[in-house]
Amino acid sequence: MPIYEYQCQNCQEDFEIFVRSFSQEYTPICPKCESGDVKKCISLFAGSSGDCDDCTVTSCPTGAT
Q: For 14-18, 19-23, 35-39, 53-57, which range has the lowest pLDDT when averaged over its residues?
A: 53-57
pLDDT in tens, 4-33: 899 999 999 999 988 877 777 788 999 999
Q: Give ∠ CA 48-53-59 in degrees, rounded to 5.
A: 70
pTM of the model: 0.60
Whole-number average pLDDT of the chain: 77
The DSSP letter of residue 10 is T
Rounded to the nearest angstrom, the gap between the alpha carbon of residue 51 and the centroid of all alpha carbons in its chain is 24
Residues 28 and 38: beta-carbon distance below 8 Å: yes
For the chain, report the end-to-end CA distance as a whole number of angstroms: 25
Domains and CATH numbers, the chain: 1-65 (3.30.1600)
Q: Give ∠ CA 11-46-24 in degrees, rounded to 5.
A: 60
